[in-house]
Chain A
Amino acid sequence: MIRQRKSTTAAVATATALALALTACSSKAEETGKGDGGGGDEGGIATDIGVTDDTITLGSLTDMTGPYATLGASITQAQQLYVKETNEAGGICDRQLKLEVRDHGYEAEKAISAYTELEPSVLAFVQFIGSPYVTAVKERIDEQDEVVVLPQAWSASLLGSKYIHMIGTTYDYETINAIDFLMTEKGIEEGDTIGHIYFEGDYGENALEGSRHAAEEAGLTVVEQMIKPTDEDMTAQVGALGRAGASAIIVSAGPRQAASVAGVAAAGGLNVPIIGNNSAFAPQLLATDVGPALMNEFYIAIPALPIGSEEDGPQALSETYSAEYPDAVLDSGVVAGYNAISLFGEALQVACDNEDLTREGIADAMLSQESVDNGFGIVHNFSDPEAPSSLESFITKPDDSVPGGTVVVREAFASDMTGSFSRE
């Protein structure tokens, strides 16, 4: 009996010791400070997550091995270039910038994991490819992590958060601007029929909202053709649009589909203007057989100056980028990535002037930017979480004689029809 009691005592003692050990040596045990302002350095600058006395760590969730590999590579390289330039010039707020990049290959599990992994150690995310995954963590961003995210996606479904800022106009406004261009410069009139070939999913469906609105405003008829990202031959769609009497075609799909539309239309004698959203073109297309067709009556609406522009911003970027990455292709991703991180850099500077490099400080600094122009042709306003940072688009045209393969045919503008547009 005594023995038995002894062993019981031992068991109780072990259990107690275990319970104590559990909590005592866990590094996860609650420390004071997290979440309520955090510490500060001698300079009096408040900091919390991702900022030390000499480094500011930024997260980047990219796709370098999946369907958006070329875009992801361009964005990431452009952002690394910005980091390098900024650090050589002394950094921001006496701190060096550092990018933590995770490649998720556009896979849900990896993307969410990468976010979870980086979130506790970065000040903000300057790149996040994949709107489904941004939406997936949106609730966490808003209610829990309160971290600024600059997604590389232009779908309106990401609007409405004071932490998530899209750079440039969303696809719906872009499509309205595209139709405005067709009407003012390509002779499309009230009563005409236009065709819209769009991807299943948020990109295409968001663009479709724009074309439906513009059509209603301008008295046009839209013939809709939904396709899947795996559909690459557009013969059936273009044929259907031709039979429906479309006098212009909008393409809210990928470069392959846009090339097919242009090629099929040219071969079939359907001589109508074709206009694509910014994701519908890649400079590599110009070297293919459809190159001549694309340079004929094909246009692209884009949310910032193209990389081949003569303006200072893109010109300087294309020179330094080509020097840093001699083998890389100059495409819209280069501008998109650099544009995003340099706008974030401006906000970082504002936060530094406010002596508040906390997540809250940077979120407020972002929201306080009502008119910021970083040399890419667009003035951004980040103060309204419900609206994109700009409603303006450039209209460009493929041209194989310039780097990046596109030239501007109409300077930045926002159509009058954007004013009356509201989302469901």
Chain B
Amino acid sequence: MSEPMTLSSLRSPQGLVAYLRSPQGMKAAAWLGLSVLLLILPFYLERFWLQAGLFAMAAAIGAIGLNLLTGSTGQLSLGHAFFLALGAYGYCVFAGDPDSQLVGWGLPPLVAIVMAVLLAGAAGGLFSPIAGRLRGAYLGIATLALIFIGQHVLFNAHDLTGGYNGRSVPTLEVFGLSFDNTRVLVGGVPFQAMEKLWYVGLVMLALGALFARGVLAGRPGRAMNAIRDHRIAAGVMGVPVARYRGWVFVLSSMYAGLAGVLLALVFQRTVPSYFGIILALEYLAMIVIGGLGSVGGAMLGAFFVSLLPQVLTKYSEALPLVSQPGTGGGLAPGEASRYLYGAAVVTAVLFLPGGLVRLPAVLRARRAARIKARAESSRNMEVPT
């Protein structure tokens, strides 16, 4: 409909306007708007929302990793929480200063992050002989073991993990910038840990998302999808099935490790009971609700699953039939938020089988169908006259 867009055509205002009207221009503008919005949020949002957002970002990174494995390659993993724990505790051990009770290597935090991610990857690598051979639900059951081993170690390896009450997370310091709770005024707004970490979270998520998109769009992505859709056909075409499965498992573990590091930084303390089977199931829920096999779907699902309970708990007191806890009568807000959360999950799965990521497509299809139906019905009206 218009001539191909070149950089020079953007130099003139007309060119710019034309570009912005084209679909790809609108998309670019939307992305630009979204990025600016994300960048300025810490100036406005309360600490509660920033923290909730950071939890969601960490969840999104983890979900992208799991989606590569489960959504794109068809390998079910219930052990994701274990690798999250490895990332979180790995960071604490590598960056922490040793004291009388805890082991710490005292490495620079940035190095510690990289090492924690590599540690999660290495653990995934150790598991990959199993991950390469097993498929689908069988791998799910094998990975379930990781959760139980992980929980036992986290609770009892006191030197490394601090036991039941966990250990405190060393502050992230990069190039002299310290991401701790000391107040720094940025344009009149006091920046504390959550505001500062927001940008760390954005960078991590953006890098993670772009990398995963790259993987999925290229040759490895096609191979992974082939393995998912027809393992034998993929093998016949020359895709090394076992090796791919193993490597995807390693990659997904590294994503989980990175998510674990970000979670630890936000929590400021690692708690072993968090990394249990419920967390692993939540990650599966995220990718199913968001949409299997796509980066955007994983992110949407992660935001949905981790933000919804927070929003519901915060605002459920305003709902009818909900009363202040402990005053008798009515539903407690915590219970109400659980019911609503459950209902939302069921609704999403029931009406959007392809996940939230399919929502625009579904709406578009509906509208097209409606327009078509209207056109047909109006034609029918004309026939008698």
- In the assembled complex, which residues on chain A have CB atoms less than 8 Å from the CB atom of B22? none
Of the 9-residue stretches A113-121, A275-283, A405-413, which lies at the interface with chain B? A113-121
Q: Chain A, 227-260, contact with B by CB distance < 8 Å: what is the 0/1 string?
A: 0000000000000000000000000000000000
- In the assembled complex, which residues on chain B have CB atoms less than 8 Å from the CB atom of A27? 44
A325 within 8 A of B: yes
Q: Which residue of the partner chain B has the closest CB to A327?
A: B328
A22 touches B332 (CB 8 A): no
- In the assembled complex, which residues on chain B have CB atoms less than 8 Å from the CB atom of A26? 43-44, 188-189
B271 touches A136 (CB 8 A): yes
Q: Chain A, 96-110, contact with B by CB distance < 8 Å: what is the 0/1 string?
A: 000101111101111
B274 touches A108 (CB 8 A): yes
Knowing A105-B334, A108-B273, A110-B313, the reply to whether A29 touches B51 (Cβ < 8 A) is no
| Pairs across A and B, CB under 8 Å, 30 listed | A7-B13, A26-B43, A28-B45, A28-B190, A29-B187, A29-B188, A30-B189, A65-B334, A65-B338, A80-B324, A99-B326, A101-B324, A101-B333, A102-B333, A103-B332, A109-B274, A112-B51, A112-B267, A113-B48, A113-B55, A116-B47, A116-B194, A133-B271, A135-B165, A136-B268, A137-B268, A139-B268, A143-B181, A144-B192, A157-B165
B13 touches A3 (CB 8 A): yes
A64 touches B163 (CB 8 A): no
Known: A109-B306, A113-B48. 13 other contacts (CB 8 A): A22-B43, A27-B44, A64-B325, A65-B335, A76-B325, A80-B324, A101-B325, A103-B325, A112-B267, A113-B52, A136-B268, A139-B168, A201-B155
Quote the shortest CB–CB distance from B293 to chain A (angstroms). 26
Partner of B165, one of A3, A77, A103, A132: A132
A23 touches B334 (CB 8 A): no
Dominant secondary structure at the B interface: helix
A186 within 8 A of B: no
- In the assembled complex, which residues on chain A have CB atoms less than 8 Å from the CB atom of B163? 201-202, 205
- In the assembled complex, which residues on chain A have CB atoms less than 8 Å from the CB atom of B13? 3, 7
- In the assembled complex, which residues on chain B have CB atoms less than 8 Å from the CB atom of A107? 274
Quote the shortest CB–CB distance from B166 to chain A (angstroms). 6
Roughly how many angstroms separate A29 CA and B185 CA in the complex, as a whole number? 9
Counting contact residues on chain A (CB < 8 A from B), the size range is: 35 or more
Counting contact residues on chain B (CB < 8 A from A), the size range is: 35 or more
- In the assembled complex, which residues on chain B have CB atoms less than 8 Å from the CB atom of A65? 332, 334-335, 338
A224 within 8 A of B: no
B12 within 8 A of A: yes
Roughly how many angstroms separate A97 CA and B268 CA in the complex, as a whole number? 32
Q: Chain A, 20-54, contact with B by CB distance < 8 Å: what is the 0/1 string?
A: 00110011111000000000000000000000000
